[in-house]
Structure 1
Amino acid sequence: MAIPRFWPRTLRWRVFLLVSGLLLLLLITAIATTVSRVHVTEADSRVRDTLRPAQTAAADLAKGYVDMETGERGFLLSRDPQFLEPYDNGSAAVGAARDRIARLLDGEPESVALLADVDAAGTAWRTQAADPAIALARADGVIADGVPGKALFDTLRTRIAELQNHVDELISAGLASSNRASGTADVIATVCVGLALVLGAASVFLLRRSLVVPLDRLVSQVREVSGGDLRREVEASGPEELAALGEAVEAMRTRILSEAEQVAAASNRIARLEETDRIARRLGDTAIRRLYGITLDLQSAAARFPRSGSAMATAITGIDRTISALRTSVYGPAAPGTRPTLRAQVSEVVGELESVHGSAPGLVLAGDLDDEPPDDVVAEVVQVLRDLLHAVAVPGGGAEEVELAPARGAIRLRVVGAVSDDQVAALRAAVAEVSGDAVVRPAPGHFTVEWSRPLRPDS
């Protein structure tokens, strides 16, 4: 199953999306249930506080009219005023019940209209039948058979029945609405619970596929690497946080492997150097040292006798080539496509002085020299350093400190040493022959030679 495209890349957003979905379902369930329960409560309250009392009042209204009609019939038959008591009590009950119904059903046009019909039928029965018959009976008159009392009361009874039926229908409708709202709340809650279960199951599946599986794979790979299998690549997959962790572990593995190879190479170089030292101890004062001493002597003589400078330079060049050939014979040829680093070559040039004179100037390598300059820059820097060390080797002085540092897109070389005042001019001339860009800054008993080379031709 492919993960949908809208599935976020980061773990925090995936968790946020799943939690938000669950919270949204919970919120919808809570809102729907609350609205339904409020509707149920309102419907029940209306039935309990309005419609049920109205139903009771309608029954009281019907009973009151029945009492009035019974009292009227008894009085008309017996002419006994005591039979009018139910009539009067019924009249009072009718008025109270009518007012209560009007108050409870106020605002409902149909109920008000039905109540008005009852009032009209009751008034017609009283004014056209009951009250005239009672007045005639009190006057000992003869009641005619044509008085429409029964028909009017039947009409009144019909209107009261219609009102009662209407109230019963309102009660039934209220109860049905309450049941429907309660059922709707239950259905919504059930659907939301089902959706929550589906979302939970999908969340477990998606999190397992996009988090648990990549995390288990990463842990397994890291364990293999920590167990010593540095050749085991660490794959970066899963959410962005997990992928970033995998990339960091892979970078660490690559760096450890590279450093291990460098340590192995360094061990090989140390073994070769130890063998070379053993050979050097056997050879003693080798031809390389003697030739290098001759080179320094020729450089010093060229500084004292400028006219012989060209001849001396030719001789020095030939000796340097001889030294290079001897060094290749002793140390072996360099591996194809590789060369010593700038740091190593500078250290070697400075170390040559110690091999000849028994002491060497201090070496200061400042700044970041881990990024190797181009080959032509390295070659020029090494050659200029070697020539400057030869040039400043004047009688009564010499180099005391060599500093090499990158500075603003260039390699800066500085040589500090001691010189007598009468040798300053010769030192300037020797340095000028080495490089016209070198600057000599003399001081009482000391000198500073500064030279720089841009890392790029356009710098």
Structure 2
Amino acid sequence: MIVLGSGLLLLLTTTAIVTTAARVHVTDVGSRVRDTLRPAQVAVAALGKGYVDMETGERGFLLTRDPQFLQPYETGQAAVAGAEGDLRRLMADDADTIALLGEVSAVGAEWRTRVAEPSIAQVRADGTVADGQLGKALSDTLRARLAALGNHLDQLIAARLESSRRANAAANLTTGLCVGLALVLGIASVVILRRSLITPLNRLVAQVREVAAGDLHREVEATGLEEVVRLGEAVEAMRVRILSEAEQVAASANRIARLEETDRIARTLGDTAIRRLYGITLDLQSAAARFPRSGPVMATAISGIDRTISALRSSVYGTAATRTRPALRAQVSDVVGELETTHGRAPGLVLTGDLDIEPPEEVTAEVTQVLRDFLRATAVPGGGAEEVELALSGEEIRLHVRCAVPDERVAGVERALAEVSGDAVVCREPGRVTVEWRRPL
């Protein structure tokens, strides 16, 4: 689309430049013809008329000996001088015209000095007329030079007008070609726009409608322009999250059903089962004391047994056991265990650091919520969390989640993780994404 737009802009610019240049050229030609060449033609005509008046006056005086016939000669001489001055001023930049004018002036001066003035002087002196052969020859030469000068000016005007016509024709041809190319580019723009935007967008809308109709397993795939692809990825991430939450709701319903069954069993087990679980708890605590490296695993098991005893006690006696909020490690274990219920498998859980630290309830709630959001964001088809590490210390709590993610979904998972928390550090590897989050204490 950028290339097509640039092409249209280039065509528009070319048309404007060529049209403007042609218009300027035509204007210059018109000004030259109107202000210079046409007045020069008029001056040439005046020059020829002046010489004709001079010749007429000279012949009339020779025939009649009447001085009144010399008036046309004198007025023609003044007209010739004025016309020559106008021509030299108008055509000062044209050497050929000046040269032709010089030839006319030379022949005219020769005719005047060798024929007209001596003949007039001789008639005034003795009344005789000299031989007119030289005058006839010079007159013919003068007329030929005047004709050559007039033809030269006609050719200059014709050449200027032809140049103006060619400029107009070139401008019209260029404009027509640019308009044709612009039409072609416009049609191509419509076709490309339809293929790259309208068709992919209609396909995406159809997929979104299928998902909105209830087919949450319909994968949304977007092609075409980058903006359409980004929109498709956002819709796909939303679909995955809705599907995950729906699966969690279903899992919660199943868990409630299992809890009800557990309550029924608890009523039958009674106090004997509770005592046995207490005994198991004591055995695990003893083992954790003897094998410190197994302490995190033992702590997770003990926490689970404690919750089981509390549930049994509530079911058997009909009263809730008074207890404090579960420890952070126990709640993290519950969040990780939810994946096994919803996805059929759970990531490995690693507890490190000072496991006896019990942060405030608001910190515990924040850590478990962030972990739950991380696990939801990475629960994509073909991938999911592989290992969760919870590190406790007196200064901070650190979560480190390692996930397997198909390459085509890495970008979407990265954005989803970044949306969960701006403090999360997300690292991409081939087919894998790791995220690390820290909570200072």
Q: Using the alignment, how far apart are the partners of 1:185 and 1:343 within structure 2?
A: 90
Q: Using the alignment, how far apart are the partners of 1:261 and 1:216 within structure 2?
A: 29
- Determine the structure 2 residue equivalent to 1:377: 350
- Which 5+ residue runs of structure 1 have no aligned equivalent? 1-13, 303-308, 314-340, 390-398, 415-454
Query: Is 1:291 equivalent to 2:255 in the alignment?
Result: no
SS in 2 for 1:44: helix
Is the 8 Å Cα contact of residues 277 and 305 (structure 2) preserved in structure 1? no
Structure 2 matches for 1:9-408, cutoff 5 A? 14=1, 16-145=2-131, 148-285=134-271, 287-294=272-279, 348-352=304-308, 354=310, 358-365=321-328, 375=348, 377=350
Is the 8 Å Cα contact of residues 364 and 401 (structure 1) preserved in structure 2? no
Is the 8 Å Cα contact of residues 51 and 77 (structure 2) preserved in structure 1? yes
Is the 8 Å Cα contact of residues 350 and 363 (structure 1) preserved in structure 2? no
Q: Using the alignment, how far apart are the partners of 1:401 and 1:147 within structure 2?
A: 137
- Which 5+ residue runs of structure 2 have no aligned equivalent? 291-296, 314-319, 338-345, 372-387, 395-435, 437-441
Q: Using the alignment, how far apart are the partners of 2:86 and 2:5 within structure 1?
A: 55
Question: Do the aligned partners of residues 283 and 353 (structure 1) sit closer, same or farther apart at CA in structure 2, a change above 3 Å counting?
Answer: closer
- Determine the structure 1 residue equivalent to 2:428: none
Query: Following TM superposition, by how much is the alpha carbon of 1:289 offset from its aligned partner in structure 2, in angstroms?
Result: 0.7
Question: Do the aligned partners of residues 194 and 400 (structure 1) sit closer, same or farther apart at CA in structure 2, a change above 3 Å counting?
Answer: closer
- The AA in structure 2 aligned to 1:412 is L
Q: Using the alignment, how far apart are the partners of 2:326 and 2:9 within structure 1?
A: 68
SS in 2 for 1:164: helix
TM-score (norm. length: structure 2): 0.70
Query: Following TM superposition, by how much is the alpha carbon of 1:139 offset from its aligned partner in structure 2, in angstroms?
Result: 1.1
Larger radius of gyration: 1
Listed one character per residue, the Cα deviations across residues 206-255 of structure 1 (whole Å, up to 9, x for unaligned) are 11111111111111111111111112221120011111111221222122
Q: Using the alignment, how far apart are the partners of 2:96 and 2:219 within structure 1?
A: 84
Query: Following TM superposition, by how much is the alpha carbon of 1:288 offset from its aligned partner in structure 2, in angstroms?
Result: 2.4
Question: Do the aligned partners of residues 273 and 189 (structure 1) sit closer, same or farther apart at CA in structure 2, a change above 3 Å counting?
Answer: same
Aligned-residue Cα RMSD (Å) equals: 3.8
Query: Following TM superposition, by how much is the alpha carbon of 1:371 offset from its aligned partner in structure 2, in angstroms?
Result: 7.3
Query: Following TM superposition, by how much is the alpha carbon of 1:292 offset from its aligned partner in structure 2, in angstroms?
Result: 2.8
- Determine the structure 2 residue equivalent to 1:426: none
What is the identity percentage for the equivalent residue pairs of Structure 1 and Structure 2?
Answer: 53
- Determine the structure 2 residue equivalent to 1:8: none
Number of residue pairs the alignment of both structures matches: 352
Query: Is 1:412 equivalent to 2:377 in the alignment?
Result: no
Q: Using the alignment, how far apart are the partners of 1:198 and 1:297 within structure 2?
A: 86
Question: Do the aligned partners of residues 108 and 291 (structure 1) sit closer, same or farther apart at CA in structure 2, a change above 3 Å counting?
Answer: same
Q: Using the alignment, how far apart are the partners of 2:168 and 2:300 within structure 1?
A: 88
- The AA in structure 2 aligned to 1:104 is L
- The AA in structure 2 aligned to 1:348 is G
